[in-house]
Amino acid sequence: MSRPLTEQKVLRKLDIEDFRHLTKDKVITMASMLDKMDPEVAKKALEQFPEFSNTAKEMLVGYKDTLDKGLESNTESVQSYYDSCKSIIEVLQKQLEDENLLFEERKYIIDKMFEISKMMDEKDSENKKFIATMVVVGATAVGIITAVLASALGGNTKIETNDIDKLA
């Protein structure tokens, strides 16, 4: 196991004079180093930058907004796709009302309707995967920031399998 980062090494890596000069854009870099720092250095850094938790919170809120916009855009896109498919199906249904259609023509129209329905199902599955991915990414971001903060503040973030067995 490597030695914990000293205050001087952390300041050099962040390219700042002291932790009071820590900017929002360098918070992520510092957060990624917290678990490698000597606990006293991490505490000192957090004491000199009291806005760390507020900055982390602001970053999470910003990230949440980005996720919300992504989900909203996805919803609009998917709805537009469904509307187009439904419109095509309606046109095909009207064509089926023509009594002069041959059996092969009816079969072709019905096959196209099934094909469009299948495409809608595939889009729905794709959409659900996208949403699940967004949830995992969001939960991961929250988990990482929470774990880093807990680690820096001396919390025990080690989870063992026998701890989980005790819950059962």
Q: What is the DSSP string of 39-67?
A: HHHHHHHHHH-TTHHHHHHHHHHHHHHHH
pLDDT digit string, tens, across residues 51-85: 666 767 777 788 788 888 888 989 999 999 999 99
- Residue 106 confidence class, pLDDT cut points 50, 70, 90: very high
Say yes or no to pLDDT of 152 above 60: no
Q: Is-contact 22 30, C-beta < 8 A?
A: yes
Mean pLDDT, rounded, for 82-109: 95
Say yes or no to pLDDT of 35 above 90: no
Say yes or no to pLDDT of 116 above 80: yes
HSE, side-chain direction, 13 A CA sphere, residue 138:
17
Tokens representing 90? Answer: 């309606």
pLDDT digit string, tens, across residues 125-150: 999 998 888 888 877 877 776 666 66
Q: Is-contact 7 34, C-beta < 8 A?
A: no
Comparing 101 with 31, the larger pLDDT belongs to 101
Q: Is-contact 9 125, C-beta < 8 A?
A: no
Residue boundaries of the structural domains of the chain: 1-50, 53-149
